[in-house]
A and B are shown apart, each in its own frame.
Chain A
Amino acid sequence: MIAVNPSAARYHIVHETIYSYDSPVSLSRQLLHLTPRECAWQRCLAHQISVAPEVTTARERHDCFGNPVRELTIEFPHDSLSVRAESTIEVLPHLPVDALTVLMGGATTNAGEARPPQPASSPRYLRASPAWETVRDALAYGSRPVLLDASCFQFESPYVRVKREFAAYARPCFTPGRPVLEAVQALMSRIYNEFEFDPEATTVATPVLEVLAEKRGVCQDFAHLMLSCLRSQGLAARYVSGYLLTHPPPGKPRMVGADASHAWVSVYCPGLEGGRWVDFDPTNNLLPDTQHITLAWGRDFSDVSPLRGVILGGDAHELDVAVTVTPVSETCAEAAAVNASQP
């Protein structure tokens, strides 16, 4: 029996990926980042991955960032690959109460939807963080103690660049002496206000410099952009992949598969409780709490993409991804409704 925290949120998540190949694939190896990691504020209550066709080998391990990964191979010809990950997750509130004022209204993932207004002023929680220069200097070589867990997220990575352009874009938010989290929040808001959510504008291959120039993209682009800005300022910041509860229009039922996986960033802030990571969601201009479900984190998308594979054969393929996030209370209600309607 699992004890229920009254303010905790519980979700049932289905993440389904289907590849249909034009000609048979004879050999396929896939790396899956589809198992939610355990965090201080998040528990995985149930989890299951089913794959069709039946795999030749499967193995579970943790990657170098501590994320669970599943590795599978299919060593016979197949025309399609379907991977269905199902999880039940409990998320505890983990933002200080006054920071919650930043959290408002609906949210946007890759699937689009409403955007909340910008908060009027930053909460005390953010204002109480150390000056951003202090944080930068604490992360510089020669400073003690060595913050190794943070400095792995301080440099360029395949999708994140450290360049003058990003430092320049971030500069207005990083005024001298400004508390680091307040500056980061200001950067998040700037990105939110100046960039347009546009699923047509970019692909996974669009360089982050181009995103900066075009000012449009999806959550991965905004996360990579914000990471580039933060790392160009000498800060440590990581990419978080996960899910977000979206709200169906009033009176409409939740659409199955209408959601998408989501991405946001996490910034390292020493001083707070001896050093901690604070999440920021530039796509929605908010501080993630119980509506964000964490799947994995890494330097950028390349470290934690949900399915990364290499196939032999196959020619062209079609890809279908469907994500459904349902609050567990709703699944209970639905179940009740189904029961009631039966004679």
Chain B
Amino acid sequence: MPQSLLSSYQKKTDRFDEMLAEDGSVRPAWQPFLAHLDAATPEQMRHRVDYVRRRILENGVTYNVYADLKGADRPWELDPLPLILSTGEWQELTSAVTQRARLLNAVLKDLYGPQELLKNGSLPPALVFGHNNFLWPCQGVRPAGDIYLHLCAVDLARSPDGRWWVIADRTQAPSGAGYALENRTIIGRVFPEQFRDLHVQHLASFFRQLQDSLAYWAAPASEAPLIVLLTPGPYNETYFEHAYLARYLGFPLVEGHDLTVRGDCVYMRTLSGLRRVHAILRRLDDDYCDPLELRGNSALGVPGLLQAVRAGKVLVANALGSGLLESAALPGFLPGACEKLLGEPLAMPSVATWWCGEQAALEFTIEHLDKLVIKGSYPSQRFDPVFGNELIGSPREEMIARLKTRPQAYVAQELVNFSEAPTWSTRHDRHLLPRGVGLRVFVAATPSGYVVMPGGLTRVSAASNARVISMQRGGSSKDTWVLTDQAVNTFSLLKHSVGKADLVRGGRNLSSRVVENLYWFGRYAERTDKTSRLLRVALSRLVDTGADILPALTSAFDLCRALQLLPAVSEAETGSPTKIGPPAPELSLEAQLLAAVCGKESGEGLAGDIRRLLWVATQVRERFSLDNWHAINRLQQQLQRYAKTVAEVGQPELSEVLAFLDQVLLVSSSLAGFAMDNMTRDDGWRFLIIGRRIERLVFLANTVAQFLLLDSTRAAGSLEWLLELTDSIITYRSRYMTQPQVLPTLDLIVFDEGNPHSVAFQLQILVRYLDNLTRLLGGPRDQALRQELARLQGFDLGRFEGQSFSECRACDPCLALAAILGEVSLAAATLSDRLAMRYFSHVSDVSRPTLTS
């Protein structure tokens, strides 16, 4: 029996410890879990820690921008040990938190309505009229059921005496519920037996209630209401969560320009036209939501949205204007407001708060600055909390001067000593470290009252004795286990049982933006694949080359140049007379190929294509299955690793480059597999496949045309690599069992309609998909490719008969076939433009505000 983990755990005397009671004994709720930890071998725990880290990486859980072109994303931090809360404690906490949600909702109802709290002096007008999240045009707008807050959160902390306090209210569009869910999916698998045996409450029912409640209050609809999740887009720090929740809740993820208001109704732009939207769960801050009536310079919002809300034609959750309550100054006035509005005392206090706009509070603050933390009254101030005891000398005088000049903009709060909970040390084998924890609890409105998510997001401070807990400052997080002595609850549905129609959302709800991104995902995926393949052909010939340059290397290299994959030749090299100076040294073949893999600029070369692929993937992240996403993530990691090597050593070893290309091709083939086998056949999928086929068609047509035109391809070994490049070498060998010859090779990769890597195959399949699209979405039939196919089929391959390819030099049949293939490639490119015009063009149009004086 190894030494107990407790023997090295340092409980502090001035803080509450979540696991240990005052006398050092283990709290009952923690006993079974700790006993299990004590019994676990270091091996087991290493596996667990490893599992957590891998899942986070693979799922791409991030807190900020994903697939940033500069690679600045930061993975989410998650401690394997949950925070455990007993049944009794949770019940108390639940009733206090639901009361707070009721109260905050009532405050909003008052402030956007009769404003009694202002008239009777319970609340200073400065905190409302001076707050830039008080949305003036929303006054008098009453949401369905008078519900302003559909999903809100409170940040809680526990003081040394064991009581919970409210640190902050999140009423705008609280983040974290999705992260809590993700934490649960991971940790639930790390400790499956403990999770089950301890009767940990599940989170799913909470989200189902949220779904049903939104549907309940959504604008009246004859069919199932369409609910969307509105995101500011992939640049937002919590975009991961938006995509995650959208997929989990089954809501289309939309950006502002996916929506449009016509008359008084909100519509989503889809391939098949406008679809009415009945409710919007928003993650966009409310003042950005409508450039017509709210913040005029916002390109993120939906012009006319407020009018649609006013007319009762759409539900916006949370209500526009609810950001008003996110003020550090408000909590000081809530006890009074609770008595006035609910007629009951406030159950859970906020941390002691003084609003400096009151003379007495200002004097108190200046006098006790050492014991207080100063915060801004309004979130728009972007004022970082200042700890009074850290202010010495002139900064202190400056702070006091600021307080005196504009007292209403500042709030003083008592310092909070966060309680501590054990975390698993990543540096030791078996070691628990006490760390400060704060709990974000989520509340949802339902027709029968507010309900609390049985769990929450536990945030963990980065260091011991922390005074601030922030994910942005390197903090970590924990799963939150709420125990129950009853059977783990299975939810009851409010409105109706969920039928098949509710679960399976067809492609009709795809926004045009999503479809456009899927199309480009298809194109970039295929481009990455084909470019990698060609570069591998050239590089592997380069590796095989000894002192002499093989003819097959020259021809492969020439093709790369003809397809413009190599870095552009500078003007000096082409002998431009206007440039004076020494001619740039000719880059070696090796250097040119390496630059084609990963150029100096991040957008150049194969690496640039991969980055664009990753970028469009993040735009439609919610459309991919987790496994599919893992593959995309691996690609990202491979690229990062390779780019780092290039940055560090300049020219990597050729074997490393080849290994990188092999990896890329591996991921690329699994992406192709997912596309064929793992995606629902909806309009989005159709466009993805069309994107892939168009890209492959362009590549094949250009490659074969250039191959026929180049001199160097007549040399030995060229037809071999052409077959290798088009993934047709196996078929060729099994059919002919001879050295590659030009006629059967061309037949296989141009004319054979059974070969998925032939030109004719791409044309056939594109014609079929386009016909399907026309049938489903209406519009005229696209005839261009059909004509190209007919021309190709009309070409007499017999013209190559008896020709010796190695001896001919751009002879008649070569020129003729190259010309047809050139036209095919052009037709494919113009088809792409036509698709964009017809199905995507309106997406790039952005609304612009205008103003006259």
Contacts and interface: CB of A to CB of B under 8 A. Distances in A.
B850 A309 contact: yes
Contacts of A73: 262-263, 304
B850 A19 contact: yes
Interface in A297-343: 299, 301-303, 305-314, 317, 319, 321
A314 B853 CA distance: 20
B137 A305 contact: no
B87 interface: no
B293 A306 contact: no
Contact of A311 (B137, B848, B852): B848
A29 B848 contact: no
A71 B307 contact: yes
B590 to A, nearest CB: 48
A317 B697 CA distance: 42
A303 B136 contact: yes
A75 to B, nearest CB: 6
A152 B129 contact: yes
B292 A308 contact: yes
A309 B853 contact: no
Contacts of A313: 845
A155 B130 contact: yes
Interface stretch (B50-58, B120-128, B389-397): B120-128
A12 B715 CA distance: 90
Nearest to A81: B850
Nearest to A299: B136
A155 B845 CA distance: 37
Contacts of B852: 17, 305-308, 319, 321
A154 B129 contact: yes
B125 A142 contact: no
B406 interface: yes
* Interface residue tally on B, bucketed by range: 35 or more
B292 A309 contact: yes
Contacts of B272: none
Contacts of B846: 312
A146 interface: yes
A151 B118 CA distance: 10
A156 B137 contact: no
B121 A142 contact: yes
A148 B119 contact: yes
A302 B358 CA distance: 30
Nearest to B297: A205
A27 B260 contact: yes
Contacts of A148: 115, 118-119, 125
A98 interface: no
Contact of B130 (A17, A27, A156): A156
A299 B260 CA distance: 29
B405 interface: yes
Given A141-B126, A146-B118, A164 B853 contact: no
B124 A141 contact: yes
Interface in B250-292: 260-263, 291-292
A310 B306 CA distance: 13
Contacts of B140: 64
Contact of B850 (A71, A154, A156, A311): A311
B850 A151 contact: no
A210 interface: no
A310 B119 contact: no
A204 interface: yes
B737 interface: no
Nearest to B118: A148
Contacts of B408: 141
Contacts of A307: 850-852
A144 B853 contact: no
A146 B129 contact: no
A162 interface: yes
A110 B853 CA distance: 10
A142 B130 contact: no
A314 B846 CA distance: 10
A156 B132 contact: yes
Contacts of B304: 29, 73, 310
Q: Taking each of B118, B357, B848, B849, which has the highest tally of chain A beta carbons within 10 Å of its own beta carbon? A: B848
B292 A31 contact: yes
A73 B115 CA distance: 32
B59 interface: no
B136 A151 contact: no
Given A29-B304, A31-B293, A75-B262, A152 B851 contact: no
Interface in B321-363: 357-358
B132 A152 contact: no
B303 A308 contact: no
B849 A308 contact: yes
Contacts of A314: 848
Q: Taking each of A57, A151, A261, A310, which has the highest tally of chain B beta carbons within 10 Å of its own beta carbon? A: A310
Interface in A135-170: 141-142, 144, 146, 148, 151-152, 154-156, 162-164, 167
A32 B115 CA distance: 27
A148 B851 CA distance: 30
Given A64-B139, A73-B304, A310 B121 contact: no
A214 interface: no
A302 B120 CA distance: 29
Given A154-B125, A220-B853, A261-B853, A308 B406 contact: no
A63 interface: yes
A316 to B, nearest CB: 10
A220 to B, nearest CB: 6
Contacts of B118: 146, 148
Nearest to B402: A164
B813 interface: no
A309 B126 contact: no
B296 interface: yes
A310 B291 contact: yes
Contacts of B293: 31
Given A29-B261, A152-B129, A307-B852, A162 B406 contact: yes
Nearest to B409: A162
Contact of A142 (B119, B303, B358): B358
Given A29-B303, A29-B304, A152-B129, A312 B847 contact: yes
A204 B132 CA distance: 20
A142 B125 CA distance: 10
B588 to A, nearest CB: 48
A162 B304 CA distance: 30
Contacts of A310: 291-292, 303-304, 847-850
Interface in A86-121: 110
12 contacts: A27-B260, A27-B847, A63-B137, A71-B307, A73-B304, A141-B357, A154-B129, A306-B853, A307-B852, A309-B851, A310-B291, A310-B304
Interface of A: 17, 19, 26-27, 29, 31, 56-57, 63-64, 71, 73, 75, 110, 141-142, 144, 146, 148, 151-152, 154-156, 162-164, 167, 204, 220, 260-261, 299, 301-303, 305-314, 317, 319, 321
Given A152-B125, A154-B130, A310-B303, 5 more contacts: A146-B121, A155-B129, A204-B853, A306-B852, A308-B296
Closest 8 A-B residue pairs measured CB to CB? A155-B130, A310-B303, A141-B124, A151-B125, A307-B852, A64-B139, A309-B850, A310-B292
